Amino acid sequence: QKEVEQDPGPLSVPEGAIVSLNCTYSNSAFQYFMWYRQYSRKGPELLMYTYSSGNKEDGRFTAQVDKSSKYISLFIRDSQPSDSATYLCAMSADDYKLSFGAGTTVTVRA
């Protein structure tokens, strides 16, 4: 079993829809949770970072962490074609080692 499992996708949604991305994890030592966005042929770009259970909002993006269920989510409201990318969840246990999900490719149709 992988340490981090991410819904594989791909996901195709119309412009303006809410995008919901999910990851589960097995390592209870994970305490830092991140979401990265990666455009084709580019490096991963940090979107959201959190270390506690609950919600964190930044503009159209909301990151949700439920440590008791070992489950994290990213919601994108009012999705735009420019949100079309691969989204990667990542987490670490304060040991400098990020464990990544396999990524979900999202396409937002205009």
Q: Which stretch binds another protein (CB under 8 A): 17-25, 32-40, 60-68, 70-78?
A: 32-40
d(CA 66, CA 70): 6
Q: Which of 11, 19, 21, 34 binds another protein (CB under 8 A)?
A: 34
d(CA 17, CA 60): 11
Closest among 22, 17, 2 to 104, alpha carbons compared: 22
Which residue carries 């305490």 as its tokens?
31
User: Is residue 71 a contact residue for another protein (CB under 8 A)?
Assistant: no
x/- track of binding to another protein for residues 83-102 (CB under 8 A): ---x-x-x-x-xxxxx-x-x
d(CA 23, CA 94): 19
Interface residues toward another protein, by CB under 8 A = 32, 34, 36, 38, 41-46, 49, 51, 86, 88, 90, 92, 94-98, 100, 102-103
